[in-house]
Structure 1
């Protein structure tokens, strides 16, 4: 058996997220279906670096697959892409070490969120149109409170008490790009809905409806308030997955 590292992009608009779900279309499910055809097997597993929710996209998701094959990776990529629908594309395939694991070996993940400040023809599938004026300086002042190791329970939708809600947030910045604002966030890992709640709360700060110091309060004392500010999924993209030895970059890619 050989193990391979897959880097892929996808439009999550028509999927119920990354993870296989019964009677629902998923990225992982489509990859498994394609692999069964290409490698002529009934048993194949695909593991991703992390789950993306329904409607969330990826510019650089990483997964691994273990199969019995001597097929060259270039041909493997071509054959898998031929079996996949237009909204999933494998960018590269590399042979990996036998113990490589897309999720366990990842040391950080990067997301970007697209906010449009005007009505846009590409609309809700790929960005969030915010009609109110946004003050980027206020947003970045709030973002500074979140950088570092903190308890992000206020920004998470995780259930139960066993899983830790502490996350090492490495970078968080709001950048102006034409008529768009891009929120770029890098962390060791992310909790369920964490990025969307951070973005939605940043927008509330940008409009002046809440103060940047609210972020400090939410870190010190868990609150359900950020939940009501959760940003829609369409603007969110998993931008990159980092592995040991790779330098965390302040640069990032966007779709538009």
Structure 2
């Protein structure tokens, strides 16, 4: 997903350095792009606050403690997960709140770098700090200060080597299409008034499973050297009332890859593209999927899976607010 690499890298290095120097009293934010924490000094940064009652860190104890966060968020109005200059991001918002709560520098890294306007049902992030706090108190403290569009679902202590992104084995994304217009659902679905042939879309979705060259479905502007061969573990496409749910699972995805897959499947459902066209896009580069990129409003990071986790089949309807697309 879209990044500001130089800021994030510089940011993480300074975090790591400052976490090992307890005499430093101030702390800025952190970003995430690659391993190795960096942090840049910010103008006007606030002095480190006193440790709240109930926190167990003493002045001599500077050993970092790591927490695993599971969170949901409405991506509308955010530049995406990744912290960027002069833009409101999910990661940047979490960092500011966590540093205020813990009274010092923290590092927060996410498992999935969702793009602008993309939502999350269960994003996973790790938070590293030198200030220990009971998980329940940390959850409540973060949620009390976060905007309503971001909600921490769970907090638990994590092993020192746990990394939200690098330890993840699979990620599942969900895309929601609605055939029913509603004043409340526009920011959470892609409304399509045209009739869509579901069986043809399902046939197209099955073509994406397996190991393919997704160069036709990737936006290479951010990382021209990134390999485009990706293994998609599984795809599912089901309808419930006027809603169509597409789920795709894999170890990683290219920038805009899922949204372009959805756009192509919609054109197959409209009968403007054929199954043979999709096969050809997977065999050789085509600029067509870029033109058909689905909007971010319908896309969700559904779940991040780690060792020992299993992904259950879709049970519809998934969550209550999707019922806005169901006709009475």
Structural mapping, 1:75-224, within 5 Å = 75-159=137-221, 160-224=223-287
How far apart in 1 are the matches of 2:101 and 2:119? 25
- Report if aligned partners of 2:112, 2:301 keep a CA contact under 8 Å in 1: no
| Equivalent of 1:54 in 77, 97, 116 | 116
TM, length-normalised to structure 2: 0.76
How far apart in 2 are the matches of 1:228 and 1:111? 21
Structural mapping, 1:230-245, within 5 Å = 230-245=293-308
Structure 2 residue runs of 5 or longer lacking an equivalent are 1-63, 323-328
**Is residue 18 of structure 1 aligned with residue 81 of structure 2?**
yes
- Report if aligned partners of 2:76, 2:297 keep a CA contact under 8 Å in 1: yes
Once the two structures are overlaid, the 10-residue window that deviates more, 226-235 or 162-171, is 162-171
CA RMSD of aligned residues (A): 1.2
1:27-68 alpha-carbon deviations (Å, 9 max, x no partner): 000000011111001x22110002111110000000001112
Which residue of the partner structure matches residue 130 of structure 2?
68
Structure 1 residue runs of 5 or longer lacking an equivalent are none
How far apart in 2 are the matches of 1:102 and 1:200? 29
Alpha-carbon distance, 1:161 to partner:
4.3
| Equivalent of 1:227 in 282, 287, 290 | 290
How far apart in 2 are the matches of 1:192 and 1:134? 26
How far apart in 2 are the matches of 1:104 and 1:251? 26
Larger RCO (alpha carbons 8 Å, 6+ apart): 1
Alpha-carbon distance, 1:190 to partner:
0.8
Which residue of the partner structure matches residue 96 of structure 2?
33
**Whose strand fraction is larger, Structure 1's or Structure 2's?**
1
How far apart in 2 are the matches of 1:198 and 1:244? 27
Cα distance change of structure 1 residues 55 and 178 upon mapping to structure 2, 3 Å threshold? same
Point out 4+ residue stretches in structure 1 off by more than 3 angstroms: 252-255
Once the two structures are overlaid, the 10-residue window that deviates more, 171-180 or 96-105, is 171-180
1:148-190 alpha-carbon deviations (Å, 9 max, x no partner): 0111111110235421111111111211011111111111111
TM, length-normalised to structure 1: 0.96
Count of aligned positions: 255
